[in-house]
Each structure stands twice: as structure tokens, then as C-alpha cells.
């Protein structure tokens, strides 16, 4: 999985602008083909979508760790 992350205090308008520019790049067939050439699947989660996905993953794996009894130091 690949994503673009920024500091949490990045102004929302700047985050949306980055998202728009990434979408423009992914709309170009040459760029899209290059990204997909190694088997990468493009999933456009859009502005805020990656953050929600990561929150869900953290909840899932936190619970898995708790159930396993593993200790994280």
C-alpha cells in the first residue's frame, strides 16, 4: 500500500490541492500504466479516505494484539 501523508496541521485546502494533483496524475494513461506495471492496484480513496482506512486498520490490529496477549514495548 502506498499513500501520501502530511503533518496533521496541514491546512485542509492544501490537502485537497494535493489530492487534486494526484488525481490529475493518475488520470494520465502513461503515469497510470507506469504505476500499474509492477502489479500495483490503484485505489483512489481521496481526501480523508486514507485517514479513515488507517484508523480502521489500527482498530483491527490493536484488537488482534490484545487478543493474542502479545506485548508491545
SS3 (DSSP) at 39 = coil
Q: How far apart (Å, rounded) are the C-alpha atoms in residues 73 and 34?
A: 40
- Number of helices (H), then strands (E), belonging to the chain: the values are 3, 0
Q: What is the mean pLDDT of the chain?
A: 89
pLDDT at 50 over 90: no
Tell the residue number behind the cell numbers 479516505, with chain if given.
49
Q: For cell 492544501, what's the residue?
A: 14
* pLDDT, position 21: 93
Q: What is the pLDDT of residues 8-35, one digit of tens each?
A: 899 999 999 999 999 999 999 999 999 9
The structure's pTM equals: 0.65
| Cβ(4)–Cβ(15) below 8 Å | no
Answer for the pair 35, 26: CB distance below 8 angstroms, yes or no.
Answer: yes
Question: For the residues 62-67, what does the mean pLDDT come to?
Answer: 90
Amino acid at each position: 500500500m502506498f499513500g501520501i501523508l502530511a503533518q496533521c496541521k496541514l491546512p485542509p485546502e492544501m490537502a485537497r490541492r494535493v489530492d487534486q494533483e494526484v488525481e490529475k496524475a493518475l488520470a494520465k494513461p502513461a503515469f497510470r500504466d507506469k504505476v500499474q506495471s509492477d502489479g500495483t492496484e490503484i485505489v483512489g480513496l481521496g481526501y480523508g479516505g486514507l485517514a479513515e482506512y488507517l484508523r480502521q486498520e489500527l482498530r483491527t490490529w490493536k484488537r488482534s494484539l490484545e487478543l493474542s496477549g502479545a506485548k508491545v514495548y
